[in-house]
Structure 1
Amino acid sequence: MTKFNIFSGFALDSEIQTEVRFPETKIYELIQRLVNYNEECLEFLLNFLALKVQKPFFKPPLILTWCATKKGCGKGTFKLFLEKLFSCNENILISYNKIGQFTSNFNSELETCLFLVLEEVSANKKNSLKEFSGLLKDISSMTELLIEKKGIDRKVVPFYGSVLVFSNELCVVQVTSDNRRIVAFEVNNEKCNDTQFFQEIYKELDDLQIMKSAWNFFLDRDVTTWDFRKIPQTELLARLQRCSENVTVKFARWYFKDRSHTDILVNESGRCLSLVTGSCMG
């Protein structure tokens, strides 16, 4: 069977002249705010986007997470930026706001996906994303996907989609102590619902020279030595890990760490000599 490459290429990957410096734009400021001006997180996010621009066929097994945010902080605007940055003749960004869409067997829209965005994720509703943590981890790392259209035989296709999670709630994803996938970004909320700030960003998103400067910025960024496995250790990530612990681990932490040191007395051999509630001879 003959196969044809019908991919048009990215619209911004063309001969467009620009003198704009992307780090001086409002879009860049938005990216800074979406990592709360944390330099480590900023470098990580910029490198991630640069890798996507330079090697869209390479998929780092990561889940970029923005949770416990305020409404109007710019998550949706950032999603729009990604759509415009990677604009082409295919639908490269798929957005789900219902868990049923994410778990559906009919998933043909993911065939050309570069970004899979899970929006309005909730921790309280039945069938929350935490209940499908296994599926979330699988889809974040798989490089092939079984595509199924209604009335058409299933087929296996390459899958390059990176997962982004947006939520205003906290405990929306399961994060283990040995986490290797989830990146949790904290957000600066000073510009939340700031009409003037976001109007300036939308104006830049429609400016071809500014968007070309963004493309050039990520295209020229050196990511040859970037290790995506070195996930930024933010306080938000630590909170998510604590929220994900089972009851036994939480009790052990409370008993041996969070309580005052005067409650437990241990000798040099490691034997517990006394407790507030009694004595321990073992």
Structure 2
Amino acid sequence: MTRPASPDDVIDTRHTHSVDDDGWYSVSKAEISDSSPRRSARAGERRLAPDDETLARSGKLDRYNGECAFCMYGSSAIIIHTNPDPEEPSETASIRYFRVAEFHQLMSTDQETVWLEGGGHRKIFWSKIWYQHPDRKTYSGIAFEPEVEMLPRGYYNLYKGFPISPEPSPAPSGELAVRNYLRLLKEGVACGDEAVYEYLLNWMALAIQKPWVKPEVAIILKGERGDGKNVACRVFGKLFGNHYKVISHPKRFSNSFNTLVANCILLFVDKAVRCENDIKILKNLIAEPFVSLEYESGNSLAFKSYLHIMMSTDDELRLKKGDRRLLHLVTDSKFHGDTAFFATIVDGMRDGGDRHLMHFFLQRGSSHFDCRAMA
């Protein structure tokens, strides 16, 4: 029995058989055999030849370079693979990391059958051809660096920027959304305290203007369900695109989740902190300068941490007084259950309010803000 073709098979790109000048096979009558699975082929039919020029002309090179890249991390070779959603901006593409052999296994169904002289045939695997191509996208390293000027030359940057452009003059519904969102922050979250409100705005503006400045303080919102804690956090988080992550299950928080936060700027911990050990994990995330990312087969990468953390809870937390790493705010119930009010925020953000909110934070002066001043 013949062994099925495998992506680990050696690809012979040295063609001694008939290949046209344009890189396609010309099939002669002698190559057609009734016993071959290629019985339906006609004389003169043309098949794709697996050479460099054909790879480029077929669009495969652009496709692979658009979704994949070869990268060195220390002495290890890895493949960076993105899964872009055609309906979403590139900033929201998910990213996975593979060892080379695992990548070829993943892409092994992307193949072509090449027919040889005498009726024989072989399968070629496009991932292998791309991997060996001189124009393959290649990086000398990988990093997560929002301050792009500091990115080492030739490195792949996990930071993709903000998916939302600022808009100073939105539609009326978008302007209302921002106005009510700021009301929620001031009257609902800060309980009318002007100093707390100003601190919140500065903390948020700094995260937008200089995401590479890691604050040493996490924002914790404690209150009743339905008072707008989640709206306050999630609306802000949407501005960060793929660099915004949510943890909403205690087990997810207490277990290893480094893969989730490796390229994260804003982390929203939604009712996932329940015990003293969770608080210790939270504090470690605030203070830790690096975060590791585990990719396939238990291997890991280490990146700088730029985590900004917001958290909501319905429970009483045992927090030490004077802890400068946590700003604990008890929210007001003024907007409790006011679904119409919250709808103006959520719906209006979809109607340009998010772009107006981005403009608001970018225009706010926060260069001299000290995150530790309030906590």
TM-score of the alignment, normalized to the shorter chain, above 0.5? yes
For 1:24 and 1:155, locate their aligned partners in 2 and report how far apart those are by CA, in whole Å.
39
Relative to structure 1, the CA distance from residue 153 to residue 121 in structure 2 (aligned partners, 3 Å threshold; closer, same or farther) is closer
Cα distance, 1:11 vs. partner? 2.2
Of 173, 176, 183, the match for 2:327: 183
Q: Say yes or no: does 1:216 pair with 2:362.
A: no
- Comparing both structures, which one devotes a greater share of its residues to strand? 2
Runs of 4+ in 1 over 4 A off after TM superposition: 19-24
Q: Equivalent residue of 1:166, what SS?
A: strand
Cα distance, 1:135 vs. partner? 2.2
Q: Say yes or no: does 1:132 pair with 2:278.
A: yes
Q: Which residue identity is paired with 1:79? A: C
Matched-pair contact (CA < 8 Å) for 2:233–2:310: no
Tell me the equivalent position of 1:48. Answer: 203
Q: For each residue in 1:203-224, what CA deviation from the matched residue of structure 2 results, as whole angstroms up to 9, or x when unmatched?
A: 211121x222211111111112
Of 230, 236, 253, the match for 1:76: 230
Matched-pair contact (CA < 8 Å) for 2:289–2:305: yes
Tell me the equivalent position of 2:30. Answer: none
Q: Equivalent residue of 2:297, what SS?
A: coil
Q: Equivalent residue of 1:112, what SS?
A: coil
Q: Which residue identity is paired with 2:214? A: K
Matched-pair contact (CA < 8 Å) for 1:70–1:168: yes
Tell me the equivalent position of 1:238. Answer: none
For 1:160 and 1:152, locate their aligned partners in 2 and report how far apart those are by CA, in whole Å.
23
| RMSD of aligned residue pairs (Cα, Å) | 2.3
For structure 2, the 5+ residue unaligned runs are 1-71, 73-138, 140-154
Q: For each residue in 1:113-134, what CA deviation from the matched residue of structure 2 results, as whole angstroms up to 9, or x when unmatched?
A: 1122222246xxxxx3322333
Q: How many residues align?
A: 219
Relative to structure 1, the CA distance from residue 197 to residue 46 in structure 2 (aligned partners, 3 Å threshold; closer, same or farther) is same
Matched-pair contact (CA < 8 Å) for 2:177–2:348: no
Q: Equivalent residue of 1:201, what SS?
A: helix
Q: Which residue identity is paired with 2:260? A: E
Alignment of 1:1-282 (within 5 A): 1=72, 2=139, 3-5=155-157, 7-13=159-165, 16=167, 18=169, 25-32=179-186, 33-67=188-222, 69-87=223-241, 90=242, 92-121=243-272, 128-170=274-316, 172-175=317-320, 177-208=321-352, 210-231=353-374
Tell me the TM-score normalised to structure 1 length. Answer: 0.70
Cα distance, 1:179 vs. partner? 1.5
Q: Which residue identity is paired with 2:368? A: T
Moved more, 199-208 or 2-11: 2-11
Tell me the equivalent position of 2:15. Answer: none
Q: For each residue in 1:69-94, what CA deviation from the matched residue of structure 2 results, as whole angstroms up to 9, or x when unmatched?
A: 1111112212321232223xx2x222
Q: For each residue in 1:176-231, what CA deviation from the matched residue of structure 2 results, as whole angstroms up to 9, or x when unmatched?
A: x44211101221212111121111112211121x2222111111111122121112
Tell me the equivalent position of 2:142. Answer: none
Q: Which residue identity is paired with 1:4? A: Y
